[in-house]
Structure 1
Amino acid sequence: MAHRAYAAGSAFLSNNTVSSSAAPQSASTPARNTRAVAFFARLQEVAAGARIEQQWREFGEGVEGAAQSIDHALRELQFETHTHRGTVAQLAKTTLPVIALDRSGLAVVVGNAQGDHLMIQRAGDDKPDLVKMGDFAREFSGTWVSGILSTEAVVARIDPTSHKFGFAWFWHALSKYKAEMAQVLLATFFVQIFALMTPLAFQVVIDKVLTHRSQATLVVMLIALAGVAVFEMVLSGARQYLFSHTTNRVDVELGARLFAHLMRLPMSFFNSRNSGEIIARVRELESARNFLTGQALTAWLDLLFAVVYLAVMFYYSPLLTFIVLAFLPIFFGASYLVSPLLRKKLEDKFALGAENQSFLAETLGAMETLKGQAVESSWRRLWEKRLARYVTSAFESGHTANWTNLVIQTASKLLTVILLGVGAMQVIDGNLTVGGLIAFNMLSGRVNAPILKLSSLWQEFTQMRVSVKRLAEIMDAQPEAATAGGDRRAPIVGEVTFDNVSFQYHENGPTVLSDVSFRVKAGEIIGVVGISGAGKTTLMRLLQRLYTPQSGRVLVDGIDLASADPHWLRSQVGVVAQDAALFNLTAQENIALGQPSLTFEEVMAVAQLAGAHEFINLLPQGYGTVIGERGCLLSGGQRSRIAIARALATDPRILLLDEATASLDYESEQVIHNNLRQICKGRTVFIAAHRLTTLRMADRILVLENGKLVESGHHTTLIDKPGRYRSLFEASRALEALSKPSPSLNHKAAQALPDAGEFHV
C-alpha cells in the first residue's frame, strides 16, 4: 500500500504545477521545493493546498532558508517536525521518508533505504531513482527535515466532531518536553528528600547533642545541615533554570499555534467580534499556561511527599497526626465551596476587561477624530466609568479569593496552636521528646505547605477554567477550509462568473447582493458603479473568498470558490481598498509584503507604475523609511499609492481596485490613469470608482442598485440611454467640475447637482 502511495505521489510530483510562476521542468528552487513538500504530505494522505508556497516568500532560498521554509510548511499542514544535521549514513538510519536538501537548497524526498542505496524522488522526475549513498553524499548538504502527522490531526481525521479545545491541547504541547519535565520532577524529588532530613537533624541536635553535651556530634550535624542547604540551593536553582527554559519554549509554541489558528479563521469570525475582545481572549493563553507549567506541575509530587511526611509524623505521634488530618477538610472545603461564586466573579471581570480593551483600541485608532471633535473630556469620563466597573469587578473577585485565603490561614494558625498545646502535654507526659515535638512541627509545616498550595491551586484552577473557556471560542472556531477543489495549484487565467449570487453578512441581516449574475472573460476590465451601500465592496470581497454566498456560485476559471483553496486564490488576486491598511514597516517592506523576495529594483518598478516612486524618494530614508502604524506618517493619497504598488508586487492575475484612487489629488490620479493600461495589461480587472470618467476605458460596466445588477454594458452604450448609469455619470461629472481648481464656480455644474446620496458611486 505504501508503494502504491509512493508511486501515485511520484506521478503527482512530476505532473502537477505549483503556482503561477512555476514551470513544469524549469521551475525555480522554491517552486520545486513546494512540490517536494506536497509530495511528502501526499504520502501521508494530506492535501498540501497552495498555502505552503507562502513559506518561500518569507524565508527565501539557500539551505538554511529552505530548511526553515520546509519546516514551517509542514507545521502549517499539522506535522510535528524536526530539522536534522548529519551524514548520509545517519540520514539512512532515521525514520523515512524525509525531505533532504542538496548544497543549493533544492529539496528531494528520500523514500527508503535499501542496503547502500537510497530511494530518492526529485521534483520533475516521473519516478524515483535508486541512488548510491556515496553518490548522494557528494550533493547532500547534511540537512534534512522529518515530520509525522500530529496527534491532533490524526484524531480530527478519525472524528472531526470530537476534536474540541480543552486541557488536552496544553498537555499535548507539554508532552513534547517530557525529558525536561522529568528532570524538573527529579530535582523536586531530591529537594523534598533534603527537606525531610532537616527536621530529623534538628531532633538529633536537641535530644542528643544538648542532652549529652556532645560537641563532636554538633559539628557533624552542623556540617550536614550546611551541606543539605547548599545541595538544596543548587538543586532548586537548577530546577528553576530548567523550568523557566522549558516554559519559555512552551510559550513560544503555544503562542505560535494560537496565532496560526487565528490567521486561518474566516472574516465572519472577526466581523462578529471586536478587536479588544479577541485580544483579551488571546491573552488568556498566558493564564492557562502559567497554571499548567507553574505550581500545578509539581503539586502532585509535593502531595505525594506529604503522605511520606504523614507516615513519619505518625511514627512520632499518632494523636498529633490525627489532629493534622482533621484540619485537611477545612483547607479543601473552603476552596471548593467558594469555587462557583469565584468563577462567576472572574467571568464578569473578564467580560468587563475585554470591553475596556476594545474601547482603548478603538480610542487609539480614532485619536485624530476625538481631538478634532474636541470631545477628550467626555470621552475620558466614558473611560472612567468603564474603568470603575472593571475595578469594582476585580475587587469583588479578589475579595472573594482573599476571604477564602484568610479562612485557610486562620485554620492553619489554629492548627499550630493546637499542635503546640497537645504536643507540650505529650512531652510532659513523657510520650514525646522535645526534639520530637520540634521535628513534628517542622514536618507538619511540610505537610501543610502542599495542602495550602493545593487550596490556592483550586482557585487558580477556577481561573484557568475561565481562561480555557474563553480561548475555546477562538480555537473551536472553524478555519477557512478548502474542500473538493482545494488542492488545485494551477495558475489562474482570470475568467470570472457570478451565477445567481445572493449574500447576507449575517443570517438575519439585510440582503446585500440579490441574484447577481454575470460572466467576465479573462483579461477584461470591468467597472462597478452604484451609490454607497449598493454592494460594490461586497462583490469584491466575494471575489477574494473572504465570504461565501448563501446561494449561487462565484467561479474563477470554472472553479467554485466555495470549494477552492483560499491561499491559491488570494496569492493570485491583488486588492486595493479605499482604506487599505499599511503596517509599521518600511515603504519597501510594505510594498513587498506579499512577495518579500522581491529585489529593490522590482519594488521600485511597481512603485513607479503606481506613481509612488517620486514621493518615496523624498522621504527621509527613501524606501527604507518606516511609515508608521497604518501608514500614519503619510498622506491619504500616498497611502493609496503604496497600496496600489503592493497589489501589483505579486503580479496578480486578477486585480480589484475598490475606490483605489478616491484619496488621490487630480495630479496623482492622472499618473495612475496614465499607467492604467499598463497596470491592467494581461489581467482581469474590477474597478469601483466614484469618478465615473475613469471607467471609460472599461470593457464593460456593472451598475448595482440595492444589491441588484440593474444595468450592464460599455460606457458609450449606457450613457446613450436613460437609466441609472447616466444619472450617476452626470452627477459625477458635475461634482468633478466643482472639485477641480477653478477661478470661478461652474454655475451650470452646480445646477446639475443631484441629491447628495448619489455622490457616493
Structure 2
Amino acid sequence: MAAARYHGAELVAADYRGPITEVTPSPASLVQWLSEQGMVAKAMSLKFRYLVRMTNTPPFVLIFKDGGAGLFVGADPARGVVWLRDPMGTEGDIPVAVDELRLSQVWTGDVVLVQRSRNQSENEAPINLAWLTRMVLRERRSLRDISIASVVLSLLTIFPALIVMQVIDKVVNHHSMATLIAISMIILTLTSYETLLSYGRREIVLVLSTRLDSRIALVIFSRLLSLPLEYFERQQAGTVIGRVAQIYKVRDFITGKLMSTFLDMFTLMVILPFLFFMSSTLAWMTMAAAGLIGLLVVIFIGPVGRLIGRVIAAEMRRANIMYESVAGIRTLKTLALEPSRRVEWDVATADVVRAKLDAGRMANWPSTLSMPLEMFISRGVILVGAYLLLTGSSTLGAGGLVAFMMLGGRVASPLVSLAKLLEEFTEVRSALGEAGAVLNQPTETKALTNGMRPRIEGALSFEDVNFTYPAGSTKALDEVNFEIPAGTSLGIVGRSGSGKSTLTRLLQGVSRNYTGFLKLDGVDLREINLTHLRKSFGVVLQDNFLFRGTIRDNITANRPGLTLEDAVRAARLAGAEEFIERMPGGYETWIEEGSTNISGGQRQRLAIARAVITDPKLMILDEATSALDPESEALVNANLKRISKGRTMIIVSHRLSSLVDCDLILVMERGKVADLAPHEVLVERCAIYRQLWLQQNRHLDPQGNKRVTPAPLLAEGD
C-alpha cells in the first residue's frame, strides 16, 4: 500500500483476493492484484549486490520468508546497507539500515516493483490494427530469434540447389564417384543442421503463438468485463458474443497465415538475389508472374471484402438465434415454440448460405484467373529456360536450370502467399471491426481503478439529483432530494416506472451520468472508487444468478479466500443453513446451470448469504421477494429483520406489507419524491401511498392491523 501511495494511488489491503491455496501472498498474486487496481507491477528476483546499488528508485516491496514484507526506501553502497521501512506504518516512521547478512536471514530474494500507469496501456487502447501490431511487437526477443533462424534456414536452402547443379554437371557427366561421396557427406551435414534449426524455429513460433493467443484472450475478457452494465442492457447477448468471437479469426490469422508468410519472406529476400545472379531473365519472368497474381488479388479485395462483411453479419444473426433459444429454452419448451424458432433458424441459415456462396464465388475469380500464372511459374519457366539454353541465349547449364527451378519455386510461393494474404486481410479487418464495435465501447476501467476508498458507514444524501436514460426522452429521476442517516432501513415504493430501481442503479454506480449530488457518508459517489463502492454493498435482486458450482463457491463468490466457517456464518444469517444441511452434499452440493435443482426461495436465501458474507454496511434489495411464494417471502423477511441490525438497508418492493417495519418509506411518483416518512404517517398524509396500501391490503385497516369482520346474522324464518 505504501509503495502505491508514493505514486498517488490509495489501495486497501482488505481488497486483496489471492488464491485460496496461498497462506501468504505470493509475488505473482500480488502483481496480478496490483494490475487489477490500475498499477503497473513486476515481480523479480534480485541479488543483494544489485539491490544495494538501487539508490535512485521509487519505493518497492521486498518479500520476506515469513510471509511479511519490507518497503525498500533507499540504499548506501558505500556502507553496504539498504534502508527498509514497515509497509504498514506511516511515512514518518524512521527507516532501518539492514546489511546483507541480516537481510539474507529474512528475505526470499523476491521484490515487487510498483508504479502508476501513466500511459494508455494495451488493456485500454482501441482494438485496431495498431493495437494488434503492438501486441506482436511485444515479443521482440522471439521475433528476433525467429528471424535469425529463418535467415540461416534460407541460406541453407540455397546449398541443395547448388549441390544438385554440381551432381548433374559434374558427377553425372564425368562419372565421378569421389565427388558423389563428398557431396553426399555435405548433404547429410546440411540436412542435420536444417532439421535441428527447423525444430528450434517451430518451437519458438509455437511459444510465440501461444503467448499472443493468451495475451489477446486475457485482454479481451478483461475489456469485456470492464464494459458498463448499461451497454449490455442495450445489446442482444448473442450479438455481443458473436462480435467478440470475431477476434479469434484475427488470432488465427496472426498465428497462422501471417506467421507462415512472414517466415517465407526471409526465404524470398535471401534467394531472390541469388536467382538474379543465376539468370536475370528467368528471375524477372518469375517476379512478373507473381506480381500479376498480386494485382488480381488487389483488384478483387474490395468486392470480396464487402461480401465477407455480409457473411459475418449473417453469421452473427444466426448465432443470436442460437443463443436466445438456448438461454430461453424453458420458455421455448413451455410455450411449444419449437416450430417458429426452427423457421427463424432456417431463414437465418439460408441467409448465411447465400452470403457464403456469393463471397465464395467472388473469391473464386482471382484464384481461377491466377492459376495459369501459377502454372507458368512452376512449369513455363523451365520451358523458357530450356529454350534459352538451346538457343545459346543463356550460359545456364542443365544443372543450373534444375537448380533455378528448385529455388524459383521457393520464391514464387512467398510472392503468391503474400498476394493471397491481402485477400485474407480483408476478412480479418472486417472481423477486427466487428470485435472493436463491442470492445472499443467506453469502459469503467478508470472508475474501477481510481478514486477514493472511504470507510463506508451508510449515510445517504440525494441533492437535486436528475437522471435520464440514454434512450429516454423524459427524466427517470427529477430533482430528487432526501437524506437518511447510517443504520436506517429505507423502503422505496411507487407505481411502475416511478424511479424506484433507478435510485438503486445510481447507488451501485451502474449509471454515473446524473446531475446533482449523490453522497455516501458525505462523499460524492462519483469520487469513490467503483470497485471499492460495489464491494462495500450487499445487493440482492429479484432474479439472482447463481454460478454453476457448489453452494459454498456461490456464497463466497466475491471473496474466494474465505473459509467454510465464513460461508456457514453467512448462511445462518440468511436463514439458508437449514435447507443446505438437508442437501446430499451440504455446502459442497453442486448447483446446476440455471439453478434448476433448488427452489426460488432457496436461491434467494443463497443470494442473501452471498451478499452478507462480507458484512456490508449498506444493503440493497431490489424486489428481492416479489417472485417468492408467501411462505418463502415470510421466511426471507424474517431473516432480513435480523440482518438489518447495524446496517443501512435499501429495500425496493411493490408489496407494501413487507415494508411496514422500515424506519422510513420513500414514496416515488414519476421520478419525483412524493413523501418520506414511516408507514403510520404515510397512510395518514400521502394519498399515493394510502391508495397503494388499500389496493393490496383491503383485509387490513390502514395501520396494518387485521380488520375484524362481524359474523353474519342468521335470518329468522316465519
Shift of 1:77: 4.5
Q: Distance in 1 between matches of 2:544 and 2:195?
A: 57
1:606 maps to what in 2? 570
Matched, 1:119 2:83: yes
Cα 1:142–1:264 shift into 2, 3 Å? same
2:355 maps to what in 1? 393
Q: Which residues in structure 2 correspond to 1:651-666 (within 5 Å)?
A: 651-666=615-630
Cα 1:716–1:44 shift into 2, 3 Å? closer
Shift of 1:300: 4.7
Matched, 1:555 2:519: yes
Counterpart among 75, 97, 103 of residue 131 in structure 1: 97
Q: Distance in 1 between matches of 2:116 and 2:162?
A: 52
Q: Distance in 2 between matches of 1:586 and 1:569?
A: 27
Q: Distance in 2 between matches of 1:736 and 1:419?
A: 100
Matched, 1:56 2:22: no
Q: Distance in 1 between matches of 2:699 and 2:500?
A: 20
Counterpart among 315, 320, 323 of residue 282 in structure 2: 320
Q: Which residues in structure 2 correspond to 1:740-751 (within 5 Å)?
A: none
Do the aligned residues in 2 keep the contact of 1:185 with 1:298 (CA within 8 Å)? no
2:212 maps to what in 1? 250
Q: Distance in 1 between matches of 2:268 and 2:589?
A: 62
Shift of 1:152: 4.3
Q: Which has the higher helix share?
A: 1
1:84 maps to what in 2? 44
- For structure 2, the residue ranges without an aligned partner over 5 or more in a row are 702-707, 711-718
Q: Distance in 2 between matches of 1:467 and 1:54?
A: 37
Do the aligned residues in 2 keep the contact of 1:611 with 1:668 (CA within 8 Å)? no
Q: Which amino acid aligns with 1:456?
A: K
206-215 or 65-74, larger mean C-alpha shift: 65-74
Helix, strand or coil for the counterpart of 1:82? strand
Q: Distance in 2 between matches of 1:515 and 1:213?
A: 103
Matched, 1:428 2:390: yes
Shift of 1:58: 5.0
Do the aligned residues in 1 keep the contact of 2:665 with 2:677 (CA within 8 Å)? yes
Counterpart among 571, 580, 585 of residue 616 in structure 1: 580
2:713 maps to what in 1? none
1:43 maps to what in 2? 6
- For structure 1, the residue ranges without an aligned partner over 5 or more in a row are 1-34, 738-745, 749-761
Q: Distance in 1 between matches of 2:269 and 2:110?
A: 50
Matched, 1:202 2:164: yes
Shift of 1:298: 5.7
How many residues align? The count is: 695
Instruction: Map Cα deviations across residues 705-752 of structure 1 (whole Å, 9 max, x no partner).
Output: 332222321111112346111221222235999xxxxxxxx999xxxx
Do the aligned residues in 2 keep the contact of 1:81 with 1:145 (CA within 8 Å)? yes
TM-score, normalised to structure 2, is: 0.90
Counterpart among 184, 189, 192 of residue 222 in structure 1: 184
Cα 1:398–1:210 shift into 2, 3 Å? same
Helix, strand or coil for the counterpart of 2:616? coil
Shift of 1:297: 4.0
Cα 1:523–1:149 shift into 2, 3 Å? closer
Q: Distance in 2 between matches of 1:375 and 1:362?
A: 12
Shift of 1:661: 1.8
Instruction: Map Cα deviations across residues 368-392 of structure 1 (whole Å, 9 max, x no partner).
Output: 1000001111111111211221232
Shift of 1:621: 1.4
Q: Distance in 2 between matches of 1:151 and 1:219?
A: 65
Cα 1:155–1:446 shift into 2, 3 Å? closer
Shift of 1:531: 2.8
Do the aligned residues in 1 keep the contact of 2:59 with 2:73 (CA within 8 Å)? yes
2:416 maps to what in 1? 452
Helix, strand or coil for the counterpart of 1:631? coil
Cα 1:548–1:409 shift into 2, 3 Å? same
Shift of 1:105: 2.4
Helix, strand or coil for the counterpart of 1:185? helix
Helix, strand or coil for the counterpart of 1:501? strand
Helix, strand or coil for the counterpart of 2:320? helix
Matched, 1:418 2:399: no
Counterpart among 66, 74, 97 of residue 104 in structure 1: 66
Counterpart among 547, 552, 562 of residue 583 in structure 1: 547
Do the aligned residues in 1 keep the contact of 2:238 with 2:323 (CA within 8 Å)? yes
Counterpart among 657, 667, 692 of residue 656 in structure 2: 692
Do the aligned residues in 1 keep the contact of 2:5 with 2:11 (CA within 8 Å)? no
**CA RMSD, Structure 1 to Structure 2 (Å):** 2.9
Instruction: Map Cα deviations across residues 1-35 of structure 1 (whole Å, 9 max, x no partner).
Output: xxxxxxxxxxxxxxxxxxxxxxxxxxxxxxxxxx2
1:32 maps to what in 2? none
Matched, 1:682 2:646: yes
1:274 maps to what in 2? 236
Q: Which amino acid aligns with 1:694?
A: S
Helix, strand or coil for the counterpart of 1:589? helix
Q: Which amino acid aligns with 1:250?
A: L
Cα 1:317–1:537 shift into 2, 3 Å? same
Q: Distance in 2 between matches of 1:176 and 1:79?
A: 19
Cα 1:305–1:247 shift into 2, 3 Å? closer
1:545 maps to what in 2? 509
2:113 maps to what in 1? 146
TM-score, normalised to structure 1, is: 0.85
1:24 maps to what in 2? none
403-412 or 616-625, larger mean C-alpha shift: 403-412
Counterpart among 680, 689, 692 of residue 728 in structure 1: 692
Instruction: Map Cα deviations across residues 433-482 of structure 1 (whole Å, 9 max, x no partner).
Output: 21111111111101101101101211222223223323333443222266
Helix, strand or coil for the counterpart of 2:295? helix
Cα 1:275–1:683 shift into 2, 3 Å? same
566-575 or 623-632, larger mean C-alpha shift: 623-632
Q: Which amino acid aligns with 2:112?
A: V
**Percent of residue pairs identical:** 29
Matched, 1:523 2:487: yes
1:647 maps to what in 2? 611
72-81 or 430-439, larger mean C-alpha shift: 72-81
Helix, strand or coil for the counterpart of 1:144? strand
Cα 1:475–1:521 shift into 2, 3 Å? same
Q: Distance in 2 between matches of 1:565 and 1:282?
A: 28
Cα 1:334–1:491 shift into 2, 3 Å? same
Q: Distance in 2 between matches of 1:469 and 1:443?
A: 39
Q: Which amino acid aligns with 1:717?
A: V
Q: Which residues in structure 2 correspond to 1:454-473 (within 5 Å)?
A: 454-473=418-437
Q: Distance in 2 between matches of 1:604 and 1:100?
A: 36
Helix, strand or coil for the counterpart of 2:476? strand
Matched, 1:72 2:32: yes
Cα 1:673–1:80 shift into 2, 3 Å? closer
Q: Which residues in structure 2 correspond to 1:701-720 (within 5 Å)?
A: 701-720=665-684
Shift of 1:624: 0.9
Shift of 1:490: 2.3
644-653 or 246-255, larger mean C-alpha shift: 246-255
Helix, strand or coil for the counterpart of 2:480? strand
